[in-house]
């Protein structure tokens, strides 16, 4: 399978979902995980919202390294590692547009004042299909 075909397979798989497990690291270097609602860009960037009082916000401000797990239905999953940054005004409108287009039920959270938006740039993704025959595809990003 070519790299382009692998990327399409992985993108299409992740795009089937609207929730994922997000792992962050606390300032005390304790791992913490949470379920989040997300959107994905054509460049495999993950967009999500959190509240500034939540642990993940503090964690992300302290350490931008994150990991996600997408799926597990039908014994297929994608593991994703990347770097998160808080979205600033110049990119916020476009990011929110994409997020709400992929997650229309979350539009009620658009006007919440204590929310923060993050975008994650991918560094590594592994797609794992545990059905027979078992297949694995990995993509590394610059």
Per-residue model confidence as pLDDT tens digits over 19-43: 999 999 999 999 999 999 999 999 9
Q: Using CA atoms, how far apart are residues 43 and 27, in angstroms rounded to an integer?
A: 29
Instruction: Output the pLDDT for position 1.
Output: 86
Domains and CATH numbers, the chain: 3-140 (2.30.110.10)
For residues 137 and 1, give the distance between their C-alpha atoms in angstroms, rounded to a whole number: 9
- 80: pLDDT confidence band, cut at 50, 70 and 90? very high
CA separation (Å) from 84 to 8, 13, 23, 60, 132?
A: 23, 21, 11, 7, 35
- Rounded CA gap, 97 and 18, in Å? 15
CA dihedral 102, 107, 110, 116 (to 10 degrees): -40
Q: Which pLDDT score, from 0 to 100, does residue 113 have?
A: 80
């Amino acid at each position: 399978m070519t790299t382009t075909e692998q990327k399409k397979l992985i993108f299409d798989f992740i795009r089937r979902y609207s929730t994922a497990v997000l792992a962050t690291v606390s300032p005390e270097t304790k791992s913490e995980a949470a379920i989040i609602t997300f959107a994905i860009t054509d460049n495999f960037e993950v967009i999500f919202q959190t509240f500034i009082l939540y642990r993940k916000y503090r964690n992300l401000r302290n350490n931008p390294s994150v990991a996600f797990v997408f799926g597990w239905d039908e014994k297929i999953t994608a593991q994703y590692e990347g770097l998160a940054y808080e979205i600033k005004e110049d990119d916020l409108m476009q990011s929110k547009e994409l997020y709400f287009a992929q997650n229309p039920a979350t539009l009620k959270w658009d006007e919440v004042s204590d929310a923060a938006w993050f975008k994650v740039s991918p560094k590594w993704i592994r797609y794992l299909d545990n059905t027979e025959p078992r297949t694995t595809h990995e993509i590394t990003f610059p």
